[in-house]
């Protein structure tokens, strides 16, 4: 009989499902870490939410553990790499909070537009103040959705029912999917320029941090309204407060914050134009019950060998035992991360060319790894090797796989071309020796790039002194150069330069380099 321990406040129906399935269950939310460490060696399954920190120390004590289940989407509190090395499966419940978060977004939207929270507080203080709290209708307003993943799509469906015009920015969602939702896909600037209300549903990363800031708010209509039920840090809270004070933003609704819990004495929480809730997006009885039952059913199905739903690292465990293919899987993921940051425009198709017998034998896995890297920068959902192909299909990404013989220069060469409405980008990579990942071609510029850490991409005139001038700007900002890759099509013409740096390059330094005569198309990239 398999033994399961539940250490967080997961809905009790989770334990009931396990018991009905004939499992031995210990339901002990709030158990101390020291007690967990004492008893964890005998258990086959661990179920948590976000309270238990399943780190490498705890995992090292798991002598019989087969699966760690998270009753929710994120696995930030689980050391997935440590679990993978130990051969333990990590499982989550993707999609369990989609409806609850979408509904909370709508609740905040209505509350914000009709001043529900403020009017309620006024009534409780004994006032009958109808004039102050005159609202605005949702009908016929333009809603701009940034991120058309699962939650963004559910918000679009509900907003259409209110009679809203819905536009969206999402560079990887297909036009066909948008058409089915009756949503117009536009570029990001159009979302800022055309929207009466803007809601964000994207992950937090280097590309989306402070996506809404003083600079982008200036592009918006006067009186725009802003909602964030995604991640704290996507909106610059200081800039938003200034925009609320000036009237540029007429109202805002927040469920997530740059620091959680936030500063309760701060101006954002106490601003009269802000509706604030304490990260309640997934906090509904239905959502918590749903993920509790779902994680129990998934673990039972896994043990009964009926299916393997929601597994985050199954393919990774398989890969770890194959020393030949492992570096190419990592290469594919890194190429995906790079492509997600350097492409411009709306994605139309991805062409993946596998050159060499080794890549032919693992084409499915390599494609999944590329998509994992690519989509992890684009979607708010948790992306892994198992669900990446499904998520890509769901949003209409077209994948064209091609297998060719060995390249004349490389025994195994992975080529990935992303076609967009603003042109194509090509990245080609291989592995030197046993573990040296290299990008060897970018848009016909031949070079040797280590795809790791912080990188600066730019094009420049191929003439003496260009690199020295850029290097001087980095040195004066105390940014150390860790590596350099150069490629050119013809001497004296245009060259592609990529600089690996030991630290991130801030916008001020980027602006300074952009001002150098002969330098253009600067992009900072991070893996």
Report the catalytic residues: 231, 260, 279
Report d(CA 4, CA 24) in Å as an integer: 6
- In 3D space, the residue among 376, 360, 351, 288 whose CA is nearest the CA of residue 325 turns out to be 360
Terminal C-alpha separation, the chain: 43
* DSSP letters for 341-375: HH--S-EEEEEEEEESHHHHHTHHHHHHHHHHHHH
Summarize the chain as % helix, strand, coil (round to 5): 35, 25, 40
Report d(CA 330, CA 436) in Å as an integer: 11
Question: Residues 44, 65: contact at Cβ < 8 Å?
Answer: yes
Report d(CA 447, CA 289) in Å as an integer: 53
Q: What's the token pair of residue 115?
A: 């001043």
CA dihedral 477, 480, 481, 482 (to 10 degrees): -150
In the block, tokens 């994680």 appear at 295
In the block, tokens 């939650």 appear at 151
Report d(CA 420, CA 417) in Å as an integer: 10
Report d(CA 354, CA 406) in Å as an integer: 9
In the block, tokens 């992890």 appear at 376
Cβ-count burial of 522 within 10 angstroms (0-12 exposed, 13-18 middle, 19+ buried)?
middle
**Beta-sheet pairing, 436-442 with 423-432:** antiparallel
CA dihedral 56, 60, 63, 69 (to 10 degrees): -10
Question: Residues 312, 80: contact at Cβ < 8 Å?
Answer: yes
DSSP state of 172: T
Question: Residues 252, 227: contact at Cβ < 8 Å?
Answer: yes
Cβ neighbours of 487 (radius 10 Å)? 18
Report d(CA 60, CA 68) in Å as an integer: 13
Q: What's the token pair of residue 389?
A: 């192909």
Report d(CA 404, CA 236) in Å as an integer: 48
- In 3D space, the residue among 44, 83, 39 whose CA is nearest the CA of residue 60 turns out to be 83
Side-chain-side CA neighbours of 490 within 13 Å: the count stands at 1
Element (H, E) at 113: helix 98-114
């Amino acid at each position: 009989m398999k033994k399961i321990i539940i250490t967080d406040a997961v809905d009790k129906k989770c334990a009931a499902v396990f018991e009905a399935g004939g499992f031995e269950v210990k339901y002990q939310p709030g158990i101390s870490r020291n007690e967990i460490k004492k008893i964890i060696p005998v258990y086959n399954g661990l179920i948590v939410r976000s309270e238990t920190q399943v780190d490498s120390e705890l995992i090292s004590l798991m002598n019989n553990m087969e699966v760690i289940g998270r009753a929710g989407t994120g696995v930030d509190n689980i050391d997935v790499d440590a679990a993978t090395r130990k051969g333990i499966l990590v499982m989550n419940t993707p999609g369990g909070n989609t409806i609850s978060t979408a509904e909370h977004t709508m609740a905040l939207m209505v509350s914000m537009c009709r001043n529900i929270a403020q009017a309620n507080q006024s009534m409780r203080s004994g006032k009958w103040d109808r004039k102050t709290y005159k609202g605005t209708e949702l009908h016929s307003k333009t809603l701009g959705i940034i991120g058309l993943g699962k939650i963004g799509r559910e918000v679009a469906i509900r907003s259409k029912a209110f009679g809203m015009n819905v536009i969206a920015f999402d560079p990887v969602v297909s036009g066909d999917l948008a058409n089915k939702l009756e949503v117009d896909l536009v570029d990001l600037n159009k979302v800022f320029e055309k929207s009466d209300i803007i809601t964000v549903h994207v992950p937090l990363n280097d590309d989306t941090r402070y996506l809404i800031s003083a600079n982008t708010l200036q592009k918006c209509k006067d009186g725009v309204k802003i909602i964030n039920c995604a991640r704290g840090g996507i909106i610059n809270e200081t800039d938003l407060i200034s925009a609320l004070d000036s009237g540029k933003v007429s109202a805002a609704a927040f469920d997530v914050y740059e620091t959680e819990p936030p500063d309760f004495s701060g101006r954002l929480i106490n601003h009269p134009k802000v509706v604030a809730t304490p990260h309640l997006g997934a906090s509904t009885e239905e959502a918590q019950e749903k993920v509790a039952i779902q994680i129990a059913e998934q673990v039972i199905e896994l043990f009964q060998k009926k299916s393997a739903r929601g597994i985050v690292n199954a393919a990774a465990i398989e890969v770890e035992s194959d020393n030949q293919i492992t570096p190419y899987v990592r290469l594919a993921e890194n190429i995906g991360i790079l492509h997600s940051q350097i492409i411009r425009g709306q994605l139309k198709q991805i062409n993946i060319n596998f050159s060499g017998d080794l890549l032919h034998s693992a084409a499915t896995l390599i494609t999944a790894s590329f998509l994992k890297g690519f989509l992890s920068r684009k979607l708010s959902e948790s992306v892994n090797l198992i669900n990446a192909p499904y998520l890509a299909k769901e949003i209409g990404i077209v994948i064209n796989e091609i297998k060719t013989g060995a390249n004349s220069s490389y025994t195994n060469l992975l080529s990935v071309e992303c076609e967009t409405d603003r042109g194509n980008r090509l990245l080609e990579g291989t592995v030197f020796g046993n573990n040296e990942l290299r990008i060897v071609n970018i848009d016909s510029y031949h070079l040797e790039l280590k795809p790791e850490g912080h990188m600066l991409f730019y094009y420049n005139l191929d003439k003496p002194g260009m690199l020295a001038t850029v290097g001087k700007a980095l040195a004066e900002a105390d940014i150390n150069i860790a590596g350099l890759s150069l490629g050119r099509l013809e001497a004296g013409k245009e060259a592609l330069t990529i600089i690996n740096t030991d630290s991130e390059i801030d916008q001020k330094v980027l602006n300074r380099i952009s001002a150098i005569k002969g330098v253009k198309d600067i992009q900072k990239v991070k893996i």
